[in-house]
């Protein structure tokens, strides 16, 4: 183990001793200075998680959240200098963290909050002009090969719990007492200009969007959506994506045809 790895491990694990070979500029005790540094690093990581997951913290309380975040941070040091995405696997940690099992929807709330962070930092891509899609839909020879490329910020979360309503209640939009957490909900997260939006959507629309993101053609994605939800309406789904300006451009499985904005 090299000295940098030993230092990093000691910073995150209070049970490890102060690494050897440390000196201070003013002759003070290196172990004391290191303990202060170690505490500051840990507090910074916990604060970063609290900033990303405010609703998770509200659901379990600040004291429990910070204790839980400390356990996470000790096992998950930052992998990048970009701290915006720190804790992107926090939801998986929560799902497997026994003390958190009393709040079964906690992991999905964390997924929703991280999706909002990812949407905020996603690339900025201009939307397609509605006329471009309308023209493409009138060309029967190209319809079967048509693909819709969505804005990079678009994410879908499928949950067995009412994650949208729980999240919205903590934004002051709904009264928490009116929320039944056992109702499954599907959530769309995206960025509109500089604002991140969160909407509840139907299962069919969710399946349609996920199909498009995985590279399915328009018709294959619509077929998958209809199988998942017989009430799925393709025209309504396209109108929603156009209204929210979430279609960035069109492509085709036929390499000779490509439509851009």
In whole angstroms, give the CA distance from residue 226 to residue 207: 9
For strand 247-252 and strand 155-159, is the pairing parallel, antiparallel, or unpaired? Answer: unpaired
Closest to 236 measured CA to CA, from 200, 197, 189, 204:
204
- Domains of the chain, residue spans: 1-103, 123-261
Q: Record the tokens describing residue 169, joined without a space.
A: 């209640």
CA 40 to chain centre: 27
Q: How far apart are CA 160 and CA 230, in angstroms?
A: 19
Collapse the DSSP code of 199 into the 3-class scheme (helix H, G, I; strand E, B; otherwise coil) and give the result. strand
Partners of 185 in the β-ladder: 159
CB 238 within 8 A of CB 221: no
DSSP state of 254: S
Q: What does each of the 261 residues of the chain score in pLDDT, given as a tens digit?
A: 444 444 445 445 555 444 444 444 455 445 455 455 456 678 889 999 999 999 999 999 999 999 999 999 988 988 877 788 899 999 999 999 999 999 999 999 999 999 999 999 999 999 999 899 888 888 877 888 999 999 999 999 999 999 999 999 998 877 777 778 889 999 999 998 889 999 999 999 999 999 999 999 999 999 999 999 999 999 999 999 999 999 999 998 764 444 444
- Which residues neighbour 17 within 8 Å (Cβ) at sequence distance 6 or greater? 10, 31
- Residue 206: strand, helix, or coil: helix
d(CA 17, CA 13): 9
Instruction: Sheet with 195-201: list strands edge to edge.
Output: 155-159, 185-192, 195-201
Find all residues with CB under 8 Å of 9, minimum gap 6, and list them: 1, 16
């Amino acid at each position: 183990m090299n000295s940098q790895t030993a230092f990093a491990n000691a910073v995150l694990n209070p049970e490890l001793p102060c690494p050897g070979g440390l000196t201070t500029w003013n002759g003070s005790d290196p172990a004391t200075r290191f303990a202060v540094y170690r505490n500051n690093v840990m507090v910074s990581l916990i604060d970063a998680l609290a900033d990303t997951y405010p609703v998770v913290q509200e659901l379990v309380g600040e004291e429990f959240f910070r204790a839980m975040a400390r356990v996470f941070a000790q096992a998950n040091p930052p992998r990048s200098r970009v701290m915006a995405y720190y804790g992107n696997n926090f939801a998986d940690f929560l799902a497997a963290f026994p003390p958190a099992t009393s709040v079964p929807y906690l992991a999905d709330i964390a997924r929703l909050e991280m999706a909002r962070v990812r949407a905020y930092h996603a690339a900025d891509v201009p939307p397609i002009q509605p006329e471009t899609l309308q023209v493409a839909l009138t060309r029967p020879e190209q319809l079967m090969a048509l693909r819709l490329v969505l804005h990079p910020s678009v994410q879908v979360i499928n949950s067995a719990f009412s994650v949208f309503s729980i999240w919205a209640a903590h934004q002051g939009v709904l009264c928490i007492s009116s929320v039944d957490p056992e109702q499954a909900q599907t959530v769309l997260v995206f960025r509109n200009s500089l604002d991140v939006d969160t909407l509840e959507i139907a299962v069919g629309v969710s399946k349609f969007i996920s199909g498009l993101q995985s590279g399915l053609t328009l018709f294959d994605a619509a077929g998958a959506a209809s199988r998942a939800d017989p009430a799925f309406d393709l025209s309504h789904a396209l109108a929603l994506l156009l209204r929210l300006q979430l279609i960035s451009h069109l492509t085709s499985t036929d390499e000779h045809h490509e439509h851009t904005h």
